[in-house]
Structure 1
Amino acid sequence: MFDRSAFSFTNILSITIVLSANSNDRQTISSFAFSGCHNLETVTIRMSSFSIGGSAFNDCFNLKNIIFPENYYISYIGSYAFENCPLESFNFKSVNSLEKGAFRNTNLREVELNLGSLRDDVFEYCSNLINVKIENELSIMESKGIFKNCHSLETVDLGPLSWTCREMFSNCYNLIEVKSSISYVGIHDETFYSCINLKILKLNPSNIGNKAFMFCNSLAYINLTETVLIKSRAFYGCQNLASVSPQVFGDEYAFAFCNSIISCNVQTFAKTGLMMNCSKLESVVIHNIQYIPDKMFYGCSSLKNIEFPDIIKFIGHYAFMGTSIEVPFLDLSETNQIGNYSFKGTKIERIKIGKDFVYSGFQCDFYYRDRCWGNEDTDENPFKDVTTITEIILGSGKQKFRGKDFQDSNNANITLGQYSYFRIENGMMIQDNEI
């Protein structure tokens, strides 16, 4: 239509853009065409089908009003096209594609979207934006930060959107309510990261990405009925999250530092530090988890009551260290791998050991396997500072016994199970093959 940067950094106050006389094709307002026109206030466009190039109106610090014809269509608005313009409103319903940062740092108060694709940071730093409404499925999965750092945003209606994008509403500090009109929605990585006032979630997440709700300090309840995957640090540091229904599960540190959870069911799967430092957690029921990972309840200082699964095959480093658990009977009949300080300082009365332990060390990369080759033995024994054990039951599969594991329980007695490799003679425990 006209050359790139044709009017950039000029002093024009208003401009009317009309269809080129020698073309019936879709028209394009060139990239950087009016970039840096600091005095430009009004733009009138008299074209029904057109596109806007990248940075076309970038840094037009007084541009508040754009007049369009009826029934217009914009095929795309290029990267940073209106960045730093004080636009207060824009009709996006006739726009097919918004490129990176197209409306970044504008004064928009509401955004309604119903078609097309959005790229990175389209509305980032729109500090006056209060409401977002999505009326149709959008192509955003490969994008990130679309509404990031919109500090005044309060309500979001995701409509039929099936997936959010990475960092979609990250650092929207005043976001209070988010809702969806479909059965379940996928929440991408860091979607609501540090949305510290988010209280109301009217949606069912199917997948929850890394750090998706991290530091959402006002969130008190989450329904995970439809959720199949929770990734690392998804709810890390959600200080007021008190109710998780129906169960807790997830990747590394998914619920760490959630200091308002008092009781919960843990099932499906768990990874390192799942509930680390949940300081008010008092009781836990563990279902169908045979591999208890490193630091799973590390630092849960109020945790006293725990219901273990029937079979435990692996217990990681520091799994229950720093808790106050009281266990009348701990059945480790099927456990063959145990980590450093797993039960340090806890209260266990009776314990049954059925197999020889592989003592996991820091240099071992083969967790959850039967053997950990080249593993060094350490003094960080699993039952350090456990002084309450009164009975140790050795099952038929136990061929080796490391007494120093229980050196702090001075009143412990050893009971040999049926077909034990050991026997007791004159107060001494020896193996059957020893003379």
Structure 2
Amino acid sequence: LKGMQIEKTLEKACYWMFSLMGFDFPQLKVIQKFSFCACLNLKYIVLNLVQIGAQHMFQHCWCLLYAEMNAIQEVPIDGFKNCKSLQHCCFINAKKFQENSFIDCDSLVSITCSSTVDHEKAGLQPQVIFQTSFNIKQSQDQHTQKQFEQFRQRPIKLRYNCSLVELASNTVQIILSDTFKNYFKLRFIHIPKVKMIGQRAFFQCYNLKEVNVKELQVVKQQAFYACTQLSSINLSTVETMEMQAFFYCTMLNNLNLQNLKTMQADTFSYCNELKHVKLNELMEKNSFWANFTLKKHLKWGYFSFVKTQLKIKVQQKKLRVINVLFSKM
């Protein structure tokens, strides 16, 4: 969204705008109640002219990583409540953090603010570090190395010193229940040998964008519940999906369900962007798909792209060798 002249938002202006990834309001000074509440996929906000913010202004922005509002005097009640992925904040001129302004911000590492700011009732986690200038702080990972000993890890550095993680394993065949539950830092996972994903295995992995699977057959109850960033997963081999398996996957829009035999009525509830779906004859008779206007299924994804790029590079090397040989003739 872009609004060059907007100085004040309306109440609930962008309320529940699940697909909003960012906005540009350079003149914004006042944010009303619920203005950006439940913008699930919003990642960064830098609003240094905003002086007044109202209750619940960014509540439930589950993917929000960084917030900077250096002109605001008070962070309002429930202002950033339940922003589970929020890692760093900057409020240089704030004098008070109102009641529960940061409650349930489980990933929050540091806040840059005045040393005299009143934060007694803000609902902050004990690990939060207060600082008067913005410095790099390492996010404290609540998931232990032991849980991930079968996975290769790669940290991903993002803007404003935020970070996410990619995981990969070519041997794991089952993802057990609750394995990655509430792992807000997970962005990609490569698990080509996995045949079953257990209950709540990726529950509320808000920043998970892609899952690379090739032999997956069973997706258990709430396996990807509220993975609001998830947009790419190969389900062409899946035969069974249990209740709420992809509930609230608001960015999911491309599916291949050619081998699916069983699914529940709420398997894909609140997948509002779902448009490209390949169905078999059995699924075409399922009443869930009756209200969908479906388009042709597409093949795309991060890991597929990387693999394609490698093939192109190999072909280019062969061509260069051929050119050298011809030039010497």
TM-score, scaled relative to structure 2: 0.38
Q: Which has the higher strand share?
A: 1
Name the structure, 1 or 2, with higher relative contact order (CA <8 Å, separation 6+). Answer: 2
Q: Which has the higher helix share?
A: 2
TM-score, scaled relative to structure 1: 0.30
